[in-house]
Structure 1
Amino acid sequence: MNEEKNTIMLVDGMALLFRGFFATAFRGNFMKTSKGLPTNGVYQFMRYFLDAAEKFSPSHVICCWDMGSKTFRTELYKEYKANRSEPPEELIPQFELIKNVVDAFDIPNIGLENYEADDCIGTLARQNSSDNDVLILTGDQDILQLVDDGIRVAIMRKGIGNYEIFEKETFAGRKGLQPEQIVDLKGLMGDSSDNYPGVKGIGEKTALKLIQEHGSIDQILENLDKLPNGVQTKIRDDRDMLELSRQLAEIKCDLSVSCSLDNAVWQYDKKIVESKFQELELNNLVKLVN
């Protein structure tokens, strides 16, 4: 029965930290400690996180992180995410700081060199979804490809406490395709935020229509001669980039990462958390853990 299942919340740490940093930094308010350490990203991360923990009542929580900008994707395509600027200097010390705060809650921090947080999330979601309900907390639409039986995605919207929840039963009705088809969609249209092009001249509208009609890139390639001439030419001319873009878009779900659920139970020692908040002079957060 459903109520016997655990709810495992997988947190996309970088998505929350970046979002929290930029949501507060636009006013030039970096919330520094008396020693000059910026804490605005950490503060807002915790507000997002504690709101989600209250709303979704997880039994277990795991936080996943990128481990630097070099990954197997940048090896495949050196322009991958090359359009991203360096993180602001006020954010840099907060990368380690937030992990210390997550530690204070006794939540596992998971990351693997050469892979992105998404790949760790995908792997842990697949490992745990047959016997548990998995909820992924993120602001990143790429993760929607992981929606499946036992895996829901909560996309954070503007402000705090606003979420758009995606689950398998209603996904196709809302998005016009199945979660796993997102990889092929992005293979065709590319992704400007991750800086890979897909097939030159094929935008979202055409890509969506092709996937809806044929189901997958493999089926499109099998029926290439039945497509309009212009589309045929574009795909033939950019076949290598099509394959590469699909590879870049796909979240890996078979990494050698695991996390024992015994180590991820959502319960914390209030005194340890309060003393961490006080150390960082984040006294406004203390009342949120009462």
Structure 2
Amino acid sequence: MLLDTASLYFRAYFGVPDSVRAPDGTPVNAVRGLLDFIARLVQDHRPDDLVACMDADWRPHWRVELIPTYKAHRVAEEIPEGSDVEEVPDTLSPQVPVIEAVLDALGIARAGVAGYEADDVIGTLTGRATGPVDIVTGDRDLFQLVDDARGVRVLYPVKGVGTHQTVDEAWLRGKYGVDGRGYADLALLRGDPSDGLPGVPGIGEKTAAKLLSDHGDLDGIMAAVGNPAAKLTPSQRKRLHEARDYIAVAPKVVRVASDVPLPGFTPELPRAPRDPAALDALAERWGLGGSLQRLLATLGT
């Protein structure tokens, strides 16, 4: 089980009231919400291994060089030029180091690499996996990794993590008309305002799916642009031709990396805390209460 950790703690932050606080009054709603999420996921799915994948770089420079608008609207205002500081709620940022410390004390593996997003870590670990993989994320970008033959599916939270959409190839075809491999091509053609991806003007989701159905993949579509006999309308041919520069670089931006240089770590889900003393201190300092106890009980069984 691979967790898109930021996606989950954002969801926890907005789903758990900020009246959930540490003894000193500091909000810990994201911390406690994430612990409850992990407890529920472990209880429901019983993974052998679990990795909390982290955004060491939420907006990698190599992606921005290719598409300057990539996540540009999320950059916090009034920061030094050239800096990429993500705009997040004031009371969430201080909770992230607490989350990391608690996961470390529990012995739950964390993986993040400078210059890469959590999506890239997930893509690399999925490629290395020798058995089935459940990816837990609220980010549709990771639908591109769905692969029935390898047992790779996405658990997409609908309400908390107890109610989720299980995304496999049948669901993708029913929803988007593509499989996992085709989803990245559909996304870059359609565009995604939440990631600052412009897409191809005039090519929406349904048109993108039809083009992929007719021509197989992005390469097939672009080959058709240069073939007067190919099945394209004049407006489609014109729009795709005018978007050649974008289409040339977009795949590297949209597709998750599969070659992240990950450090060594043990992904096995712990049955007991790795550092009980540190965990006790964190529990007292931050008032982790029932959320931590529920997770410990779940891990123990």
**Preserved CA contact (<8 Å) 1:39 1:94:** yes
Distance in 2 between residues matched to 1:284 and 1:170, nearest whole Å: 36
Task: Map 1:152-191 onto structure 2 (within 5 A).
Answer: 152-168=153-169, 171-191=172-192
* TM-score, scaled relative to structure 2: 0.85
Aligned match for 1:269, one of 268, 272, 276: 272
CA contact (8 A) 2:58 2:116 kept: no
Q: Tell me what 1:229 maps to.
A: 234
**Equivalent residues in 2 for 1:76-115, closer than 5 Å:** 76-84=66-74, 86-115=87-116
- AA matched with 2:16: T
Aligned-residue offset at 1:113: 0.9
- Aligned pairs for 1:182-261 (under 5 A) are 182-224=183-225, 225=228, 226=230, 227-257=232-262, 259-260=264-265
Greater shift after overlay, 213-222 or 73-82? 73-82
How far is the alpha carbon of 1:24 from its aligned partner? 2.5
Structure 1 30/195 Cα, relative in aligned 2: closer, same or farther at 3 Å? farther
- How far off is 1:17 after superposition? 0.8
Q: Is 1:68 aligned to 2:57, yes or no?
A: yes
Q: Secondary structure at the match of 2:51?
A: strand
Corresponding residue number in structure 2 for 1:126? 127
- Highest RCO, 1 vs 2 (Cα 8 Å, sep ≥ 6): 2
- 1:17-76 per-residue CA deviation (whole Å, 9 max, x = no partner) reads 111112225xxx253323343211111111111101111101111111101334021232
What's the counterpart of residue 24 of structure 2?
Answer: 35
Structure 1 residues 153 and 259, CA gap change in structure 2 (3 angstroms): farther
Q: Which consecutive residues of structure 2, in runs of 5 or more, have no partner in the other structure?
A: 77-86
Q: 2:3 aligns with which of 6, 11, 24?
A: 11
Letter in 1 for 2:142: I
Amino acid at match of 2:53: C
User: Secondary structure of the residue that 1:99 maps to in structure 2?
Assistant: helix
Alignment correspondent of 2:138: 139
Aligned with 1:281 (options 287, 290, 295): 287
CA distance in 1, matches of 2:256, 2:292: 36
Q: Deviations over 1:209-243 (max 9, x none)?
A: 11111111111111123310011111111111122
Contact kept in structure 2, 1:277 and 1:283, CA below 8 Å: yes
8 Å CA contact 2:23–2:285 kept in 1: the answer is no
TM-score with structure 1 setting the length: 0.88
Distance in 2, Cα, partners of 1:138 & 1:221: 31
How many Å apart are 1:166 and its aligned residue? 2.2
Tell me the matched-pair count. Answer: 275
